Structure 1
């Protein structure tokens, strides 16, 4: 029995995108929270908490996109054609963020507010567009003869806008709990209060998407609510609710626990999305095997991926280790 390279590539891409959502999510969340903090010194500490690692976090997005092109070129072509506008806007937002990271620390006090605005606007634009992409993708893409057959704005719908707002809440929660872990005193206290509110907001969005999605897509409803699937999948919402309860408790006094519970909620939500769509790489009908590149091409690219992924994991782990601990009042690390 041969190796199913399509399945291996699907796992690599799914894990890569999940790591991007969890890693880049908290530093996008830090930017989203920028207007809620008035002190320039606190804003500097917020940015300093993610400055050494933010660009490395985006490596996973590159891996996911490159893997999709190498392993599932038809899916790459269709998804980019269907979601071209929000993808381009997302990249514009990420560019604004990147420039703000470098320019804010060197700007004069008179012009610094412009870079604060750039950091916030870039963060919220990139996050909202990722939600639009997610909503448009889940809603399904019109494919005829292996090519996208829909319109340029088919991705824009009330559901995709709702997903965009939900992702803003989710990333903001990741950012606030990250800052609980990385800061002290006044800023940490402020983030504890914000996190408690964001948990409730995110639960509302999760409930809304959980109800909306199966109502709009009978196939997803069948997967979640048919017997015996409902018995196997019931732990997913239960675990999400328990994680949210523990998160609400931990934001009062915890240090790293709030961030860990936030990551758990994101991972459970991502797993739920995967369960809803599997094995389709282009919802609602094109599976990973239908969109796969030739096995020889997938195998050739797989060799490179298996060599580079451990390197990415090692340098990412090393950077988090080196910059562990709290950001102190001098904008360094303890």
Structure 2
């Protein structure tokens, strides 16, 4: 591996950690500010931080990360913000999947990999505040490297103004890199976050990409960073607009049923869940995205 690629990997990993720190701090500020309305009597939520570790098949160290989870807060019922940096060799199933999905030759001859990223899922106390997901990541093999990630909104009670703001903010962050990016990544998210057995989308969409490798590492990293940078300005205003709204038992019921839909998607279709479990990463970190409570009808 070249010194240049080693430095690029370090830059990417450092940025994922820095974004994690800013998001965790911003969410704890929201918890402190929620001093009236539903949930205000509880203590403000705080993130519990746990180191995660991945072990290779022979038991040797293969990287890890930080799992940061807040439970039972005033505003956030459960939110996780994980960062990881893992490495090693891909197992046979992962090699086959990578070769088929990415079109990467030579994986069986040299199955080494390195991956780093940030992954976030928030499930909210107030049914009027939408759940949300965001991740960005870099993946390297001796044969290719690429970036991936995105962000999508998952309200159980939909507000068109919220959807419009979320998408407009993402578009504003992507357009400086080329106006072709937002419509392409929006369409990709609509396709990816779809639940075939329910014949419906998981939420109201967002942006998504899974194979960004233009050959210009700096340009691709800059686009990936702005996907992450869009998250807080896209989401925080929605939390502020909805966290004090009154809600009913019927609203909570709708929320729990929608969470069941979210869980179905993540367990059946989500590629990140499958990859994390197949490559031996900490199962609690991989399954952090699951809601604390859900319901099926």
Computing the radius of gyration from Cα coordinates, the structure with the larger value is 1
Higher relative contact order (CA 8 A, sep 6+): 1
Q: Could you say which TM-score interval applies, normalised by the shorter chain?
A: 0.3 to 0.5
Identify, as 1 or 2, the structure richer in strand.
2
Identify, as 1 or 2, the structure richer in helix.
1
| TM-score, scaled to structure 1 | 0.34
| TM-score, scaled to structure 2 | 0.37
